[in-house]
Amino acid sequence: MSVDPVLARIDSDLPNSLDRLLELLRIPSISTDPAFKKNCDQAADWLVADLQSMGIDASKRETQGHPMVVGHSDGPGPHLLFYGHYDVQPVDPLSLWHRDPFDPEIQDTPKGKVIRGRGAADDKGQLMTFLEACRAWKAEHGTLPCKITFFFEGEEESGSPSLIPFLKANADELKTDIALICDTGLFDSRVPAIVTMLRGMLQEEITITGPDKDLHSGMFGGAAINPIRVLSHIIAALHDENGRITVPGFYDDVPDLPDDMMAQWENLGFDHKAFLAEVGLDTLAGEAGRSALEMLWSRPTCEVNGIGGGYQGDGFKTVLPSTASAKISFRLVGQQDPHVIRDRFREMVSAMLPPDCTIDFISHGASPASVMSVDNPAFDKARAALSDEWPDPAAFVGSGGSIPVAGYFQSILGTESMLIGFGKDDDQIHSPNEKYDVDSFHKGTRSWARILAALTQG
């Protein structure tokens, strides 16, 4: 089956495709707020109906939270799983939006036409690029080019509490040759990207307690232990003078970046000074001797995300605090085990406590990194297909963030994932005035059509 008529159909049907996206964007499917539960059901129903309109066997599956949508379409060749999420972030602060977040529209901007509205880029616009590519295939050829399972969840923006139980309960139905995830972005406006590594996450909160009450520093200062001073010492000890993390055994399972991947990243021409300048900075921090992309995509981190203790109101209070706390996160890579890192971190911190201090730990989550095997021929086929659509060749890249579903597909379904998305850094996802470029939507749809052709031919 030729992809050329499919691409032509996508071009001619773009106005209708945008109308369908706007219809989905009007549904306020905010998963984290119980007040919008019916709207999440409505979005799931909308997707079921849209899949069924293409002749796909689709249904809404109830969970303890918001429903999943699952659809199946038979066909030759490989079996693909496409994943997206239909839920969106809350819109607060509403006062910063220039229009109703759920009254989307196509707007002209100095950089081109954009789709403005909550969920436009994260993830309804991205999800619909794939559905529109499938719609064009069906319209031109009467069938899809291969067997496809569609899987959409409604809790991604609220921690996906139902995802793991659903995957385990339905693993046989959802296992495929490869999974496609459209929740990422372009490297820049000209370079499409396939994310092949995602960092994991470990989040720890520590509270150090010294005296049983806040003390007057004039009466007790010097004689009594100060938990903030203890905490400061611990935080300072987490990195050495070269920016390396000092938790024992921390780098045991951190792999070196392959030479071919390093060469790809160097060819991207990433300007770290311009990157930092956008946030008012100038100097590259972190591990000495590492490039910015290495540190952002393939190296682990330890960051202090918040500190509390003592008097923090207006004016001054000479208090010696009873407690001091910090929230500390680790981004993990390779085969680092978040539970092993957590144990070693806690052992290290506990060993640094002086007399008269105790420590409490609270875990706020632990998930491993995901590393995709680019030895699978599907990755090179998809990269070539993307390169045919965009001005510059596609690249295999890393991601500094975490997308846990890719790891769950690996560990529960035994399925590798390709993460391909068409968002841009200025899409303002999770923020007021979210947008998705019409060009991203259009070329993203064409990209999926090309990828489907590439994965199913030869």
- Placement of tokens 């919008």 in the chain: 36
Whether the Cβ atoms of residue 425 and residue 121 lie closer than 8 Å to each other: no
Write out the DSSP string of 329-369. Answer: EEEE-TT--HHHHHHHHHHHHHHTPPTT-EEEEEEEEEE--
Identify the CA nearest to 114 among candidates 437, 385, 348.
Answer: 437
pLDDT in tens, 58-106: 999 999 999 999 999 999 989 999 999 999 999 999 999 999 999 999 9
- Distance, in Å, from the CA atom of 78 to the CA atom of 180, rounded to the nearest integer, reads 13
Domain stops at, among 367, 391, 424: 367
Q: Cis peptide leading into 123, omega within 30 of 0?
A: yes
Domain stops at, among 367, 382, 399: 367
* Same domain membership, residue 314 and residue 186: no
Phi–psi pair at 323, nearest 5 degrees? -135, 160
Identify the CA nearest to 427 among candidates 153, 85, 127, 184.
Answer: 184
Q: What is the pLDDT of residue 373?
A: 85
Residue 42 lies in a domain: yes
* Same domain membership, residue 406 and residue 306: no
- Distance, in Å, from the CA atom of 331 to the CA atom of 201, rounded to the nearest integer, reads 5
- Residue 337 is part of which domain span? 200-254+300-367
Q: Which two tokens stand for residue 331?
A: 């981004």
* Same domain membership, residue 338 and residue 389: no
CATH number for the domain spanning 317: value is 3.30.70.360
Any residues with CB less than 8 A from the CB of 448 and at least 6 apart, and which?
A: 129, 130, 133, 134, 182
* Same domain membership, residue 230 and residue 191: no
Whether the Cβ atoms of residue 105 and residue 114 lie closer than 8 Å to each other: no
H or E, element range at 395 = strand 395-399
Residue 261 lies in a domain: no
* Same domain membership, residue 220 and residue 160: no
Q: What is the pLDDT of residue 267?
A: 92
Q: Considering the chain, what percentage of its residues have pLDDT values greater than 70? A: 100
Q: What is the pLDDT of residue 400?
A: 84
* Same domain membership, residue 139 and residue 67: yes
Residue 236 lies in a domain: yes
Q: What is the pLDDT of residue 250?
A: 98
pTM score of the predicted model:
0.87
pLDDT at 2 over 90: yes
- Distance, in Å, from the CA atom of 327 to the CA atom of 150, rounded to the nearest integer, reads 38
Residue 268 lies in a domain: no
pLDDT at 232 over 70: yes
Q: What is the pLDDT of residue 251?
A: 98
- Distance, in Å, from the CA atom of 458 to the CA atom of 454, rounded to the nearest integer, reads 8
Q: How many CB atoms lie within 10 A of CB 134?
A: 25
pLDDT at 457 over 90: no
pLDDT at 1 over 90: no
* Same domain membership, residue 41 and residue 167: yes
pLDDT band of 458, cuts 50, 70, 90: low
Amino acid at residue number 98? H
Instruction: Domain count for the chain, please give it.
Output: 2
* Same domain membership, residue 150 and residue 42: yes
* Same domain membership, residue 310 and residue 411: no
Identify the CA nearest to 144 among candidates 93, 68, 79, 195.
Answer: 79
pLDDT at 282 over 80: yes
Question: How confident is the model over 110-122, as a mean pLDDT?
Answer: 97
Q: What is the CA radius of gyration of the chain?
A: 24
Residue 283 lies in a domain: no
Arithmetic mean of pLDDT over the chain: 96
* Same domain membership, residue 109 and residue 32: yes
CATH number for the domain spanning 185: value is 3.40.630.10
* Same domain membership, residue 211 and residue 88: no
* Same domain membership, residue 211 and residue 130: no
Strands 193-198 and 395-399: parallel
pLDDT at 402 over 90: no
Domain stops at, among 343, 367, 391: 367
Residue 270 lies in a domain: no
Q: What is the pLDDT of residue 382?
A: 97
pLDDT in tens, 147-179: 999 999 999 999 899 999 999 999 999 999 999
Question: How confident is the model over 11-19, as a mean pLDDT?
Answer: 98
Residue 277 lies in a domain: no
pLDDT at 309 over 70: yes
User: Within its chain, how far is the Cα of 213 from the centroid?
Assistant: 42
